[in-house]
Structure 1
Amino acid sequence: MSNDTLEPVVTPNDVWQNVRKRAWITIAVPLGVLAYLSYTWFAFGVPELLSKAQPERAVILATDSVAHKIHVTKLLRRDILEVAIEGERRATFEETNMPDWVAVDDTDATVDLGDGYLVEIIGKRMDFTVPGYGVVTGIATNTGVDIILPEGDVPDYVKANPKKLDVRPTLDRRVQVTRTKIEVHNYFGGWENFWFPFHSELYGMSFSQLYALALSADRMDPNYSNLWFMVHEFLENPDWQHGEIFVALFETIMMAVLGTITAALFGLPLAFLAARNFTPSMFLRFGTRRLFDFLRGIDMLIWSLIFIRAFGLGPLTGALAIAFTDTGSLGKLFSEALENIDNKQVEGVRATGANQWQRYRFGVIPQILPVFVSQVLYYLESNTRSATVIGALGAGGIGLMLVETMKTSRDWENTSYIIILTIVVVIIMDQTSGWLRRKLIEGK
C-alpha cells in the first residue's frame, strides 16, 4: 500500500471559479475607489471651490512674498506726485534721490519700466506703451475713467471699465487709473528695507562699509557704539519688527518647552497608577486611564480656546493647552512602557534589600528612560509647531504675529519671513533633540 499523499484534483470548474473571484475583486475594488472619490468630489464642494478659485491672485501674492514694488503715484485731487517703496509715506523718495528710471517734471512724470514699457503721466492723462500691443491711454474724469485702447482684440491683462483701468502685461509691471489717482507699480526682487529703515543713516550701505563703520571710533550716535547702533537700528526696524519677532519666537519656544515638561512631570507618576503591574487596584487603573483619554481626547486647540476664555490671552494659556493634551498622550505611552519592563531587573534590585523607591529608581526608571527621553523630545519638537498654531488663536507668540501679517495683502513678504524663521526654529529643535537623544540614550 502506497504511503504517498493523494493530491487534490483541480477540476476546470474550480479554475473557473478562482478566475471569476479574482476578476470580481480586480473590478470591484477600483470601482469602489472611483465611487468614493466621486462622492467626495461633490460632497466636499470641489466644483464650487474650483469655480471660485483665483489663480492669478495666488500668483500675485506669491510674487509679493519674494519681491517688493515701488509706487509712482499721482494724487489727482491734491495734484501731487509721490514715489515710495510699497506706497509707504515713511519710505518716500525725495527729489534729490529719485530712482533713475523715474523722470519727474513738477507733478508729471515719465516712468521707464524697461524692455520698452514706458508710462507717461501728464495732468490727468496716462499713456502706457506696451511692446507688441500699442499705447493704452487712461484719462481720469470727475465720474470715472475715459479709456482709449489700440484697435483689435483686448488682451487678458487689460482690465478696463468706466470706473477703473488696470493694465498688468507682466508680473513685475502694473498701471492703474481711477478718477482720484494714477499709480504705477514697478517690482524688484528681494525684501525692501530688510536690514535698516528707509530713513536710517545706515540705509543702502554695503557690507564692507558697515564693517568699516563698526570698527571706527567715530560714533554715529553719541549714546551707542557703532556696532550697537547697527543692532539697534536692525531690531527697531518698523517695517520688519525684527526685535518683536525674535521675542515672539522665544515666547513660542518657551510655550512648547513649559507645556511639554509639565506634561512629562505629571504624566510619569500618573503612568504608574495606570500600569497593571504597579497598581493592583482595577478601579484606580480604570480611573487614571479614563483621565488620559479625557485629556488627549480634547484637541489642543480646544483646550487653548477654553483657557483663553478662562485666563485671557497670553503664552500661559498655550502652555496649559499643550500640558493638558500631552499629559494624556505621554501618560498612556509611559504606562505601556511600564507594563513591558523586565521584572527580573526589579527582582534583582529587591534582592539587595532595596526599598520600594529604590526599586523604582534602579530597577524601573533605567528601563523606561529611553522611551521617556525619546517621547518627550519628540513631543517637544512637535509642540514647537503646535505652539505656532495655538498662538494664532490668541495665545501669543509667533503665531499671533503671523496671523496679523496675513490680514492684509500688503505684508506677504513679512509672512514669508515669519514662516521661514519658524521652519528654521523647527529644524534647530529637531537637530537639538536628536543630539540629546544620542547623548542620553546611546551615550555618544
Structure 2
Amino acid sequence: MTGIDANCMHEIEARYPEYFHRSFRQRFGGLMIVIATLLYGLYAVWFFDLPKLFAEAHWERVGIYLSQWVSYDVQPEFRIQDDGSIAVRYPRFSPLGDNPHPDWVVDNPDGSITVAVSAAARVVTISKSETIVTADGVSVPIDVSSGAPKVVGPVPAWMTVYDDNVLADLGFAGDVSISVDRVNIRKRFLGWANFVFDTQSSFFDKPVGEVISLIVSGPRIKPDQSNLSLAFDDIWNNSEWQHGDVWTKLFQTIVMAFLGTLLGALAAFPLAFMAARNITPNRLLNQILKRFFDFLRSVDMLIWALFLTRAFGPGPLAGSGAIFLTETGTLGKLYSEGLENIDNKPREGIQSTGAQTVLVHRYGIMPQIVPVIVSQTLYQWESNVRGATIIGAVGAGGIGLKLWEAMRTNANWENVAYMVILILIVVFLFDAASNALRHRLMGSRTH
C-alpha cells in the first residue's frame, strides 16, 4: 500500500477543512452540554432542597391513598354496656345497609363477639373485661376492666398504646381502636361497594341472577313502573356513586372542549389570513394580529377560566369561553405560520389567470394549508378534553369540578378513581377518533 505524502495531506486538509480544523465549539460542544446539564441538575437539587423534601415526605400516604382507590371499609362500633352486654352499631350510611348482619361478626355463647378482620388469621374477640387481638400468629390480650386499657404482656410492633386507647394496625385489612367502653373496627374490602345499586334501592344486596330475573320476567316491584325502568332509575340516581351527575358532568366536559375548539378555529381561520405576511401585505396589521395571538395564548386557559367564572358565574359557559380564547390565539398562530410557509407558485399561477381573490385562496392556498389546519385543530380538540377537566376544578363546570369536590373530602378516593378512569377512557377514545379523522381527511393511513 502506498503511503500518503505531505502534499496529499495538505490537499485533503484544504478540501475538507471542517474535519481537520474544527473549532472549540465543535470539539468540546457535546462535553460542555453534558457538564452544563449536570451542573444545572445539582443547582436544582440545591434550589428545591430535594434531600430534605424526600426525607420529610409522607410516603406512607401513597399506599393509603392507592388502597382507598380500589377498596372500601366498614366501621362497626362495639359498645360495652353496664350490664356486660355488647351493642353493635354501624355508621348511618354504612355500605352494608340500614340493618346489617355480616357473617364476619359472630356472637359467641358466652356473650363475647368475634370479628374476623381478614381471612389471614386477623381476629378480634371482644368481651366485657378483655379484648383479644390476634394477628401474625400472636394473640395480644388488652384488659379493659380498669380505668384505662392495658396490654397484658409484651406490646408487638403493630400495636400502639396511648393514654386512653390502644390502636392495632392490621395493614390493608384495617385497624382496631380499643378503649375501656368501646371497640372500633375498620375492616377493608377490595372493590367498590354498591357501585350498581345503593342501599336504598329495591335491588340492593340481591344476587345477579335474581336481579336479572326480576327485570326480565318478575312481578313489578312498583305497580306504576316496570322493573327495567326502576333498575335504570336506581342506577342513574345511585346516591353513593351519583352516576347520573358524573356522566352529565362528563358530557359537559366533552361539549366544552368541542365548542371551545370549534369557535376558536372559526375565529382563528380568517384572522390567520390577515396575520400572514405573504397573504396580507400590511406589516402593521400583521404585527397587531400576531401580538393579539400571543396575548391570548400567553394567558393560560386556567387563568381565563378564573376570569370568566367571575364574569359569568360557575358553569360550562365559562369553560367554553376559556377554551375559545386560548384556542383563538394558539390556532391563529399555527394557521398563520402554516400560511407563511406555503409554496407561492400555485397561488401565483392562479392569480395570473385573473381569478378573483376568493378563488386564488380556494385553489392556490387551501390545498396546501388544509393538512395543517386539520392536524392541528384535531390535536387541540383532543388536548382540550384534558384541559376542560382541569379548568372545571376552578368552577368552569364539567367533571373537573366534580372530581375536585370528591378529592377535597379526603375520604371518597374510590369515587375519584371512578372519575379518573372515565376521563382516561374518554381521552383514549378521543385520541383514537382524532387519529382516524386526521388520516381520513388527509387521505393517508398509518400501518
Partner of 2:44: 40
Partner of 2:138: 133
Q: How many equivalent pairs are there?
A: 428
What residue identity is the alignment partner of 1:218?
A: P
Partner of 1:442: 443
**CA distance in 2: counterparts of 1:244 and 1:177, whole angstroms:** 40
Partner of 2:114: 110
What residue identity is the alignment partner of 1:57?
A: R
Match of 1:100 among 97, 100, 103: 103
Give 1:333 deviation, angstroms: 0.7
- Could you tell me which runs of 5 or more consecutive residues in structure 2 were left unpaired when the two chains were aligned: 14-21
| Higher alpha-carbon deviation: 343-352 or 75-84 | 75-84
Give 1:372 deviation, angstroms: 0.8
The answer to whether the aligner puts 1:146 opposite 2:149 as a matched pair is yes
- Could you tell me which runs of 5 or more consecutive residues in structure 1 were left unpaired when the two chains were aligned: 11-17
Q: Is the 8 Å Cα contact of residues 149 and 180 (structure 2) preserved in structure 1?
A: no
What residue identity is the alignment partner of 2:153?
A: P
Q: Is the 8 Å Cα contact of residues 81 and 108 (structure 1) preserved in structure 2?
A: no
**CA distance in 2: counterparts of 1:340 and 1:407, whole angstroms:** 49
Partner of 1:15: none
Partner of 1:13: none
Counterparts of 1:310-321 in structure 2, within 5 Å, are 310-321=311-322
**CA distance in 2: counterparts of 1:25 and 1:338, whole angstroms:** 36
Partner of 1:263: 264
The answer to whether the aligner puts 1:193 opposite 2:198 as a matched pair is no
Q: Is the 8 Å Cα contact of residues 132 and 139 (structure 2) preserved in structure 1?
A: no
Instruction: Give the 3 Å change call, closer, same or farther, for CA 377–141 of structure 1 in structure 2.
Output: farther
Q: Is the 8 Å Cα contact of residues 166 and 177 (structure 1) preserved in structure 2?
A: yes
Q: Is the 8 Å Cα contact of residues 149 and 178 (structure 2) preserved in structure 1?
A: no
Give 1:75 deviation, angstroms: 4.9
Instruction: Give the 3 Å change call, closer, same or farther, for CA 136–7 of structure 1 in structure 2.
Output: farther
Q: Can you list the C-alpha shifts for 1:325-367, whole angstroms capped at 9, x where unaligned?
A: 1111110110111112233333444455532222223332232
**CA distance in 2: counterparts of 1:92 and 1:39, whole angstroms:** 54
What residue identity is the alignment partner of 2:391?
A: I
Q: Is the 8 Å Cα contact of residues 164 and 178 (structure 1) preserved in structure 2?
A: yes
Partner of 1:235: 236
SS at match of 1:409: coil
**CA distance in 2: counterparts of 1:179 and 1:50, whole angstroms:** 39
Instruction: Give the 3 Å change call, closer, same or farther, for CA 138–395 of structure 1 in structure 2.
Output: farther
Q: Is the 8 Å Cα contact of residues 74 and 94 (structure 2) preserved in structure 1?
A: no
The answer to whether the aligner puts 1:385 opposite 2:386 as a matched pair is yes
Partner of 1:58: 62
Q: Is the 8 Å Cα contact of residues 70 and 187 (structure 1) preserved in structure 2?
A: yes
Instruction: Give the 3 Å change call, closer, same or farther, for CA 23–181 of structure 1 in structure 2.
Output: farther
> TM-score scaled by structure 2?
0.86
Partner of 1:405: 406
% same residue: 36
**CA distance in 2: counterparts of 1:89 and 1:123, whole angstroms:** 28
| Higher alpha-carbon deviation: 298-307 or 261-270 | 298-307
Partner of 2:366: 365
SS at match of 1:99: coil
Partner of 1:375: 376
Instruction: Give the 3 Å change call, closer, same or farther, for CA 300–75 of structure 1 in structure 2.
Output: farther
**CA distance in 2: counterparts of 1:136 and 1:58, whole angstroms:** 32
**CA distance in 1: counterparts of 2:80 and 2:404, whole angstroms:** 35
Instruction: Give the 3 Å change call, closer, same or farther, for CA 3–72 of structure 1 in structure 2.
Output: closer
SS at match of 2:66: helix
The answer to whether the aligner puts 1:297 opposite 2:298 as a matched pair is yes
**CA distance in 2: counterparts of 1:359 and 1:23, whole angstroms:** 51
Q: Can you list the C-alpha shifts for 1:257-299, whole angstroms capped at 9, x where unaligned?
A: 1110111011111101110111111111110111011111111
The answer to whether the aligner puts 1:7 opposite 2:9 as a matched pair is yes
Q: Can you list the C-alpha shifts for 1:58-109, whole angstroms capped at 9, x where unaligned?
A: 212211110112222135699974454xx453545566x5111102479963
Give 1:412 deviation, angstroms: 0.6
Give 1:173 deviation, angstroms: 3.1
Give 1:442 deviation, angstroms: 1.0
Q: Is the 8 Å Cα contact of residues 196 and 203 (structure 1) preserved in structure 2?
A: yes
| Higher alpha-carbon deviation: 413-422 or 294-303 | 294-303
